[in-house]
Chains A and B, each alone.
Chain A
Amino acid sequence: MAGVSLAVLATAGGLVACSSTSGSESSSSASQAAGGGSYAVWDPYPQYDKSSEWVKLLEACGTQAGVKVERTSYDTSDLTNKALLAAQQGNSPDVLIVDNPVVSTLAEAGVLTTTEENKLDVSAIAPNLLAAGQSGGKTYGVPIGANTLALYYNKGVLEKAGVDIASVKDWPSLTAALEKVKGAGKKGITFSAIGTEEGSFQFLPWFWGSGAQLTKLDSAEGVSAVALWSDWLKKGYAPNSVINNTQTTSWQEFASGDFAFAENGTWQLANAKKAGFEYGIIPVPGKGGGTAPAPTGGEFVSIPVQQDTARYATSQKLVTCLTSPDNSLTTTTTLSYIAPTEAVQAKQVAATPDLKVWVDAVKAAKGRTSDDLGTKYPKISEPMWGGVQAALSGSKSPQEAMAAAQSAAASAVQ
């Protein structure tokens, strides 16, 4: 029996403790990669194999800089922990490509070099995209590309309901359109309000579109954004399942062809073409009209701190190659992103006019960690998605839910 209870202890204890053991393997591979003129690059794109354009570009950039690139890719949720552990062991990769809200966390941990140290040129990058990688007046990387959220709509459904998409300009007109769609026997809108960062990501266009600030979740504007969503649920314009929807399940609902609208990202474009019905895309409308700022997605290329600072010069060449205007078009097309510089955005639209709406959405977008929130953002985001869930599930009124979220966020960021 002692054996059994001990085994149980270990499994339960391993829950948190195991994070420290997994570090050794990744660090050894990094140190091998770092030796002998080869440079370690970590990216969160495991979907691209050796034959992909992305890896070819990496190798070409390595050849240009006169070194061999050793690429390792991790699942994006894994990469943060792996990067932290590698830094703890002193085995950081030479170039690290991470999701933008993580940059401030890694910067806070002292893992990343600033552009002053690594001499990266960020002057051409759109300021609203760069902001996600800035904290305390310093810049910790270059965005490789950006994506964001917009509203996909099903042309057939809207036509049947007698909705002219040009009339959808602000919240009241969107709600009116949903009412018509419901009246025509179809379903209104689907989104993801799941209790994770994904839920916050999807809620932010509405939150920011109301004029609210993340520093005050329970402002009248913030409450109005939650009320908009919870009213849609109450009136049946949005299905109750949104509370548990990920962005993927929400997309599947839209792809069933019953829904008029879906809030989703650039990355679904390829799937939209396969959906088998005519679709269109509009930016998420602000409360009183205009385009609401949606949160930016997409990764930053950064140069982690090394003991041997002489390596920065070559790493800088690699990063510059990946993000240079010439290669940026290849990179962003491969990764289906919108480019971070205006010049390349123009080229993208010229090549694919469909991307125009996304370029506009990206121009209006905003980093989650921007406004100098940095590492405070995750501590605000968690109470925020909790508040949204409380309001949507009906356990609290929007006002109560956001008030509770604000007090939780205020005590967390202290």
Chain B
Amino acid sequence: MAARTRSGQWAAWAFLAPVAVYLLVFYAYPLYRNVELSLRNYTVRSFVQGDAPFTGFANYIKIFGDATFGPALWHTVVFTVVSLAFQFGIGLALAVFFSRNFRLSATLRALFLVPWLLPLIVSASTWSWMLNSDSGVINVVLGAFGIDPVNWLTSPDWSLWSVTIANIWIGIPFNLVVLYSGLQGISPAIYEAAALDGAGGWQRFWKVTFPLLRPVSAITLLLGLVYTLKVFDLIWIMTKGGPSGSSTTFATWSYRLGFGNLVPSFGPGAAVGNLLIVMALIFGLIYIRVQRRQAHT
């Protein structure tokens, strides 16, 4: 009997091993390396010789004291919150719209997926081309209405908004798809009952759709948040975080520190990256907590 459990345990471990090894090699180790990188003072010399001195939280103190920190934090928050609000709002509106299943709705819905299907380099380059101050199509259209051209990507007042707008456009399909499938899960009988009780369109939305969609909304927002926090390629291609840092977020700042200079500063770069991870982690934990509380009630 004991022998059989032991062999059963061995088998269990054997089955577990691939995923455990996978997690260790591809998740735990890079994460550990990133934390280690952020706690040592790496110079090019110590990087090659592997004798970077342990400096505790010096890299973190350095980035907290950096003039870029405050603006980058603010830009990250604005970029994330504004992107999420619009992506979710527009995505939900479209999802409700398409849930009525009119003629051609499937085709139209498929068209809305285009931003999602395009490689980011294509959409980001296209946006930066359209938003070009001198030859961009958007300024031409504005000009047709008698509005002065806007320096979308080259003015510190506008660059953050430009990348946010592009990011909203890219994020809408994801919200649309997830919320649409959430809507499919709501039984038509409930709507019918609400209609019989005399609920109008708005009431049906706020009293039926919205509350019943809450679990799906929560996961959509969380995934969107995590995705938006780390958006890097879009901003890098469109503005490089500029002009003069006006669209720098933690993600682009981390890259600039680690790779954007001839002399890389891996330590501070890793430290900024870790801050991003912590931010995503906090919201993940909040999500789990809220979900648990909902399950209890």
Complex Cα gap A239–B263 (Å): 31
A209 close to chain B: CB less than 8 A: no
Across the interface, which residues of A come within 8 angstroms of B132, CB to CB? Answer: 241, 244
B262 close to chain A: CB less than 8 A: yes
Complex Cα gap A392–B244 (Å): 9
A5 close to chain B: CB less than 8 A: yes
Given A375-B44, A389-B243, A392-B243: A15 and B255 interface contact (C-beta under 8 Å): yes
Q: Mark A1-18, 1 if CB is under 8 A from B, else 0.
A: 110111111111111111
Q: Which residue among A239, A393, A408 has the maximum number of chain B CB atoms within 10 Å of its CB?
A: A393
B173 close to chain A: CB less than 8 A: no
Across the interface, which residues of B come within 8 angstroms of A12, CB to CB? Answer: 229-230, 273, 276-277, 280
Task: Give, as a whole number of angstroms, the nearest-CB distance from A238 to chain B.
Answer: 10
Interface pair B262/A10, CB less than 8 Å apart: no
Across the interface, which residues of B come within 8 angstroms of A2, CB to CB? Answer: 288
Task: Give, as a whole number of angstroms, the nearest-CB distance from B217 to chain A.
Answer: 15
Task: Give, as a whole number of angstroms, the nearest-CB distance from A29 to chain B.
Answer: 19
Complex Cα gap A381–B260 (Å): 12
| CB proximity to B under 8 Å, residues A9-50 | 9-21
B54 close to chain A: CB less than 8 A: no
Closest chain B residue to A90 by CB distance?
B48
Closest chain A residue to B227 by CB distance?
A8
Closest chain A residue to B264 by CB distance?
A81
Q: Mark B20-47, 1 if CB is under 8 A from A, else 0.
A: 0001001100110110010000011101
B: number of interface residues (CB 8 Å):
62
A109 close to chain B: CB less than 8 A: yes
Complex Cα gap A6–B223 (Å): 12
Task: Give, as a whole number of angstroms, the nearest-CB distance from B110 to chain A.
Answer: 26
B50 close to chain A: CB less than 8 A: yes
Interface pair B287/A17, CB less than 8 Å apart: no
Partner of A1, one of B26, B37, B45, B291: B291
Closest chain B residue to A405 by CB distance?
B244
Across the interface, which residues of B come within 8 angstroms of A84, CB to CB? Answer: 44, 47-48
Partner of A18, one of B30, B49, B281: B30
Partner of B50, one of A11, A88, A195: A88
Closest chain B residue to A376 by CB distance?
B263
Across the interface, which residues of A come within 8 angstroms of B240, CB to CB? Answer: 194-196, 244
Task: Give, as a whole number of angstroms, the nearest-CB distance from B51 to chain A.
Answer: 11
Partner of A105, one of B26, B263, B277: B263
| CB proximity to B under 8 Å, residues A152-196 | 194-196
Partner of B274, one of A13, A396, A408: A13
Q: Mark A375-413, 1 if CB is under 8 A from B, else 0.
A: 101110110001101101111100001000000100000
A217 close to chain B: CB less than 8 A: no
Across the interface, which residues of B come within 8 angstroms of A361, CB to CB? Answer: none
Given A109-B47, A389-B244: A19 and B266 interface contact (C-beta under 8 Å): yes
Interface pair A390/B49, CB less than 8 Å apart: no
Interface pair A195/B258, CB less than 8 Å apart: no
Closest chain A residue to B245 by CB distance?
A386
Across the interface, which residues of B come within 8 angstroms of A10, CB to CB? Answer: 26-27, 30-31
B261 close to chain A: CB less than 8 A: yes
Interface pair A244/B44, CB less than 8 Å apart: no
B115 close to chain A: CB less than 8 A: no
Interface pair A17/B244, CB less than 8 Å apart: no
Interface pair B262/A9, CB less than 8 Å apart: no
A101 close to chain B: CB less than 8 A: yes
Complex Cα gap A105–B263 (Å): 7
Across the interface, which residues of A come within 8 angstroms of B232, CB to CB? Answer: 15
Given A105-B263, A240-B133, A378-B261: A11 and B47 interface contact (C-beta under 8 Å): no
Interface pair A195/B273, CB less than 8 Å apart: no
B177 close to chain A: CB less than 8 A: no
Interface pair A196/B50, CB less than 8 Å apart: no
Task: Give, as a whole number of angstroms, the nearest-CB distance from B256 to chain A.
Answer: 8
Complex Cα gap A19–B264 (Å): 12
Interface pair A389/B274, CB less than 8 Å apart: no
Complex Cα gap A180–B156 (Å): 30
Interface pair A244/B30, CB less than 8 Å apart: no
| CB proximity to B under 8 Å, residues A79-137 | 80-81, 84, 87-88, 101-102, 105-106, 108-111
Closest chain B residue to A240 by CB distance?
B133
Complex Cα gap A194–B153 (Å): 11
Across the interface, which residues of B come within 8 angstroms of A67, CB to CB? Answer: none
Interface pair B263/A375, CB less than 8 Å apart: yes
Closest chain B residue to A99 by CB distance?
B262
Task: Give, as a whole number of angstroms, the nearest-CB distance from B181 to chain A.
Answer: 17
Task: Give, as a whole number of angstroms, the nearest-CB distance from B170 to chain A.
Answer: 17
Across the interface, which residues of A come within 8 angstroms of B261, CB to CB? Answer: 197, 378-379, 381-382
Complex Cα gap A350–B30 (Å): 56
Given A10-B30, A389-B243: A110 and B48 interface contact (C-beta under 8 Å): yes
Across the interface, which residues of B come within 8 angstroms of A244, CB to CB? Answer: 128, 132, 153-154, 239-240, 242-243
Complex Cα gap A197–B244 (Å): 13
B241 close to chain A: CB less than 8 A: yes
Given A12-B277, A194-B240, A393-B156: A240 and B50 interface contact (C-beta under 8 Å): no
Interface pair B244/A108, CB less than 8 Å apart: no
B220 close to chain A: CB less than 8 A: no
A243 close to chain B: CB less than 8 A: yes
Partner of B48, one of A8, A88, A195, A375: A88
Complex Cα gap A2–B285 (Å): 9
Across the interface, which residues of B come within 8 angstroms of A394, CB to CB? Answer: 155-156
B182 close to chain A: CB less than 8 A: no
**28 CB-based A-B contacts, threshold 8 Å:** A1-B291, A2-B288, A8-B226, A8-B284, A12-B230, A12-B276, A13-B274, A15-B255, A17-B31, A81-B259, A88-B48, A105-B262, A108-B43, A109-B48, A110-B45, A195-B239, A196-B240, A241-B134, A243-B153, A244-B132, A379-B263, A386-B242, A389-B242, A389-B243, A390-B244, A392-B154, A394-B156, A401-B244
